[in-house]
Amino acid sequence: MPRAPSALDRDPWSRILPLLILGFLCYALPLSVFAALPAAQDNRPVLRIQGSNTIGAKLAPELVRGLFEAEGLHDIRSEAGAAENEQRLLARQADGRTVLVEIAAHGSSTGFASLKAGTADLAASSRPIKDGEVASLSALGDLRGPQAEQVIAIDGLAIILHPSNPIGALKVEQLAQLFSGEITDWRELGGNPGAVRLYARDDNSGTYDTFKELVLAPGGRSLAAGARRFESSNQLSDAVASDANGIGFIGLPYIRQAKAVAIAAGDSQPMPPSTTAIATEDYPLSRRLFLYNQPQPDNPWAQALIDFAHGPRGQAIVEASGFIAQTVRAVRVEPVAQMPAGYRQLAEQAQRLSVNFRFQEGSATLDNKAQRDLGRVLDYLKHHDKLHNQVVLVGFGDAKSDPARAALLSKLRAMAVRRELAKGGVLFREITGLGDELPVAANSEDHGRIRNRRVEVWVY
């Protein structure tokens, strides 16, 4: 017997309308409805960020502001914290309650100390976590694991001089001699006669840790005792810009009125701190900026900020703040005679993507940044219709006693990237390895060898 028509049959809109309303709500309501972020309580901070001044002075507050906007909060404002280099970001929920995020920017090492003490939810760091810090925080889990270590931006240490200083390029070894006090007069480097005056970040600074690791440590040197020390990046930069004999190091957004010089490491050509050279981490003093959290975070606001920072809106804020976003772009490379013939042909006919794949230390496993870069590169290739026979992978490595072995190892690195991208449907035009050609760092130290072990992506 035929079924009698129901009310839904007679009025199909009674079935469809609720679905349309639900779809509208999913699109229009603030993200917090679905992310289940806890509401503010008693004006206590929902999130506490401590650590790097490089991150905390500007980038972290802007990312928090962007998250607030994405959550649909209003009346967003900032105010000074309890001490210098501290900020409070406030916003209002629809029910009128205040959401508060506290940021303290006293140096990368203070972030890890605060994580251990339980007084921070996220540690902001302008250098990788140290072995001792990993051990000290082992109760929280593996702080080097992909769930804990988040690369949110790329930065370059700019070496800054007074604008009138005629020197335009320096080698890393010369930097070490300058900042250790071995070179004391600019005439020794072909500059105007005058005593060199040194400006440096303080001991808590990740910027200083990075400078020590990249510049001073390879020769076993220490910073000269007479260097002026600063907690504030802006104050350091302004001091150099007003001293005709000054030299300092600073994060890229803080060059301000000073002059940045090109830097060479080992056999590499001098490179200015350009957007492309830093994005690919080829610039000798490039570095990663991190947020570290517990591998299984118990604060949903911490996870929400990390997810926001990795997304398109977060990376746009990274770029607007003067750092280098991890957004993948295709760039033209000027072919030069010193390039190997096959590589020069690539430069003439194809474009290089603004990302290099690098590997965990002593391993053929892609590092944490590279794991996320796989998704970014795949998205780029899909969006630009480059999945089929348009991609070339070029592997590089450090020098070996046997050049054939160096070439083989560099190609194996490219094959490791090929294996992962192939899972996303990429069919490759060519996979090649160029061994120890075109170094971007000195091979005399572990850090330089790691930087030289890389895989470039080119597209036709």
Question: CATH no. for residue 203?
Answer: 3.40.190.10
Q: Give the DSSP per-residue string, 63-127.
A: HHHHHHHHTT-EEEEEEE-SSTTEEEEEEE-TTSPEEEEEEE-S-HHHHHHHHHHTS-SEEEESS
Distance CA 251, CA 63 (A): 18
Q: How do beta strands 351-358 and 454-459 pair? A: antiparallel
Listed residues 320, 338, 371: the one ending a domain? 320
Domain shared by 274 and 333, yes or no = no
Q: Which two tokens stand for residue 151?
A: 């690369």
Domain shared by 348 and 421, yes or no = yes
Q: Kindly state whether residue 166 falls inside one of the protein's structural domains.
A: yes
Domain shared by 49 and 130, yes or no = yes
Domain shared by 340 and 390, yes or no = yes
Distance CA 395, CA 342 (A): 13
Distance CA 460, CA 19 (A): 44
Listed residues 320, 340, 370: the one ending a domain? 320
Distance CA 444, CA 173 (A): 12
CB 52 within 8 A of CB 107: yes
Confidence of residue 12 (pLDDT cuts 50, 70, 90): very low
Distance CA 98, CA 225 (A): 47
- Whether the pLDDT of residue 415 is over 90: the answer is yes
Domain shared by 312 and 341, yes or no = no
Q: Kindly state whether residue 213 falls inside one of the protein's structural domains.
A: yes
Domain total for the chain? 3
Distance CA 270, CA 440 (A): 10
Domain shared by 255 and 307, yes or no = no
CB 202 within 8 A of CB 156: no
- Whether the pLDDT of residue 65 is over 80: the answer is yes
Q: Kindly state whether residue 284 falls inside one of the protein's structural domains.
A: no
Q: How many CB atoms lie within 10 A of CB 363?
A: 8
Q: 89 pairs with which residues across the strands?
A: 78, 101
- Whether the pLDDT of residue 17 is over 80: the answer is no
Domain shared by 193 and 126, yes or no = no
Distance CA 84, CA 182 (A): 34
Residues 435-445 as b/e (b if ≥16 CB within 10 A, e otherwise) read bbbbbbbbbeb
CATH number at residue 421: 3.30.1330.60
Q: Kindly state whether residue 202 falls inside one of the protein's structural domains.
A: yes
What is the model's pLDDT at position 445?
72
Q: How many CB atoms lie within 10 A of CB 340?
A: 14
Domain that holds residue 399: 328-459
Distance CA 270, CA 260 (A): 12
Identify the burial level of 130 via C-beta atoms within 10 angstroms of its C-beta, where 0-12 means exposed, 13-18 middle and 19 or more buried: middle
The torsion angles phi and psi of 263, rounded to 5 degrees, stand at -125, 140
Q: 47 pairs with which residues across the strands?
A: 101
Question: Is 25 in a helix, a strand, or coil?
Answer: helix
Distance CA 372, CA 205 (A): 27
pLDDT digits 0-9 by tens, 103-125: 999 999 999 999 999 999 999 99
What is the model's pLDDT at position 403?
83
What is the model's pLDDT at position 296?
82
Residue among 455, 285, 423, 268 at smallest CA distance from 358: 455
Distance CA 388, CA 385 (A): 8
Per-residue pLDDT, averaged over 78-97, amounts to: 94
Per-residue pLDDT, averaged over 266-286, amounts to: 91
What is the model's pLDDT at position 113?
97
Per-residue pLDDT, averaged over 415-431, amounts to: 97
Q: Kindly state whether residue 14 falls inside one of the protein's structural domains.
A: no
Residue 453 CA: distances (Å) to CA of 137, 149, 212, 289, 342: 29, 21, 22, 20, 19
pLDDT digits 0-9 by tens, 237-260: 999 999 999 999 999 899 999 999
CB 385 within 8 A of CB 424: no
Q: Which of 33-42, 124-133, 203-212, 367-376 has the lowest mean pLDDT?
A: 33-42
Domain shared by 127 and 178, yes or no = no
Predicted TM-score (pTM) of this structure: 0.81
Q: Kindly state whether residue 78 falls inside one of the protein's structural domains.
A: yes
pLDDT digits 0-9 by tens, 308-327: 999 999 999 999 998 999 99
Domain shared by 335 and 293, yes or no = no
Per-residue pLDDT, averaged over 38-62, amounts to: 89
Domain shared by 188 and 249, yes or no = yes
Domain shared by 275 and 300, yes or no = no
Q: Which two tokens stand for residue 272?
A: 């200015």
Q: Kindly state whether residue 11 falls inside one of the protein's structural domains.
A: no
pLDDT digits 0-9 by tens, 188-213: 999 999 999 999 999 989 899 889 98
Indicate the length of the chain as a whole number. Answer: 460
The torsion angles phi and psi of 383, rounded to 5 degrees, stand at -65, -30
Domain shared by 161 and 132, yes or no = no
Instruction: Dump strand ranges (E) for 298-426.
Output: 330-331, 351-358, 388-396
Confidence of residue 362 (pLDDT cuts 50, 70, 90): low
Helices (H), 221-334: 233-241, 275-279, 300-310, 312-320
Q: Kindly state whether residue 10 falls inside one of the protein's structural domains.
A: no
